[in-house]
Structure 1
Amino acid sequence: MSFYYFAYGSNMLPARLVARCPSAQVFGRAAAPGWRVEFWKHGRDGSGKATLIEDTATQVPGVLYRIEDGDLAALDRAEGAGFGYDRLDDLAIDAAGTALRVASYVASHPEPDLLPFDWYLALVVAGAEQAGLGADHIAALRRHDWQVDAFLARAGRQEGLRALTAHGWADAAAVLQGQAG
């Protein structure tokens, strides 16, 4: 058995999600109406991570994946389900005109004053570009404020940079500046 998962943050980049859930396969583009994306989830590293925030005036584009049930526990661990993120199992999305109810994650306690690290925001931008989520969305992501991660040996940073490299990007700065990957 399998389930559908809507990614709107760093997991939009396939190498990032497949490293966490080997069975993950891109199913296509999708959008979550009634939500917007913010970087208001407090990460274990103290930075802001992507989360959905209810907003009836907009929708969030993202990537829809099909994942085998056996990878759900790994996805929950990677996302911190119960420890900063809550898993929604019935998020309403639009996948090319088809209404679906899917799994996704939202911050348990959003914190508006957080900033993402440069490498994390680069993962989100690269995933949006790879999926072809639209120039306006990608430009808005690139305009978002971010902070430099001064801890170069951080495991999450190293994992993120490997995912960028797997998709042909030189580094986080190249993604954020819009240089071809």
Structure 2
Amino acid sequence: MLCFAYGSNMSTQRLAARIPARFVTTALLSSCRLVFHQPSGDGSGKCDIVPASDQSAVYGVIWEVASHHEPTLDRYEGLGVAYGETWLTVTDLAIERQFDVQAYAGNVTSPGIRPYTWYKHHVLAGAREHGLPASHIHTLERIGAHQDFDAERPALEMALHGHAEPLVRSA
């Protein structure tokens, strides 16, 4: 299965901590925008994609996921509860080839919630790692985030990147 990651799963380290996957390419999803309004069980906002009528687009990473790892990824993503499965057509950033991909789209939204700084770091790390456009990275940098007061969770999440603390500020 080809999976389009637009949030924290863009980060190789983040995804590898969940399942093995093979990087395919970076891609663009037209006529959509990225929002952080998907409520998580930890009280923070996670990424979601929503249709947009303007020239908005969402950048992401295409991963090839073996069929026997799909159920594990579905559990991490809360398939059927937090997210639903959708199929999209995205365009390769390098050669403009189109791919039909699976993605997770939010089932429940809560406008106004913000991500934790460690989650935002995963998203930014993946975007930078895969060379997504500077304008997209700048947009991600401007997203407001807040500190997670669970002492263990941020340390565990940041250890994936070899850091003790998120390298993004809360806003």
Q: Please give the TM-score of this superposition, normalised by the length of structure 2.
A: 0.92
For 1:111-126, what aligned pairs fall within 5 Å after superposition?
A: 111-126=110-125
Q: How far 1:112 moved relative to its partner?
A: 1.1
In structure 2, the partner of 1:138 is: 137
| Pair 1:171-2:168 in alignment | no
- Whose helix fraction is larger, Structure 1's or Structure 2's? 1
| Pair 1:99-2:93 in alignment | no
- Whose strand fraction is larger, Structure 1's or Structure 2's? 1
Tell whether the 8 Å contact from 1:30 to 1:64 is kept in structure 2 after alignment.
yes
Q: For structure 1, list consecutive stretches of 5 or more residues without a partner in the other structure.
A: none
Residue type of the partner of 2:130?
Answer: A
**CA deviation profile, 1:112-153 (whole Å, cap 9, x unmatched):** 111000000011011100010011111111111111111111
1:147 partner SS: coil
For 1:46-65, what aligned pairs fall within 5 Å after superposition?
A: 46-57=43-54, 58-65=56-63
Residue type of the partner of 1:114?
Answer: I
Tell whether the 8 Å contact from 1:164 to 1:172 is kept in structure 2 after alignment.
no
Q: How far 1:87 moved relative to its partner?
A: 1.2
**CA deviation profile, 1:37-85 (whole Å, cap 9, x unmatched):** 1101001101000010111321101111111111000010010101111
* CA RMSD, 1 decimal: 1.4
In structure 2, the partner of 1:8 is: 6
1:12–1:93 Cα change, 3 Å: same
Q: Which 4+ stretches in 1 moved above 6 angstroms?
A: none
Residue type of the partner of 1:91?
Answer: L
**Percent identity of the aligned residues?**
31
Q: How far 1:159 moved relative to its partner?
A: 3.9
Q: How far 1:158 moved relative to its partner?
A: 3.9
Q: How far 1:171 moved relative to its partner?
A: 3.3
Q: How far 1:98 moved relative to its partner?
A: 1.3
How many residues are aligned here?
A: 166
Q: For structure 2, list consecutive stretches of 5 or more residues without a partner in the other structure.
A: none
1:172 partner SS: coil
Tell whether the 8 Å contact from 2:155 to 2:165 is kept in structure 1 after alignment.
no
Tell whether the 8 Å contact from 1:61 to 1:133 is kept in structure 2 after alignment.
yes
Tell whether the 8 Å contact from 1:34 to 1:54 is kept in structure 2 after alignment.
yes
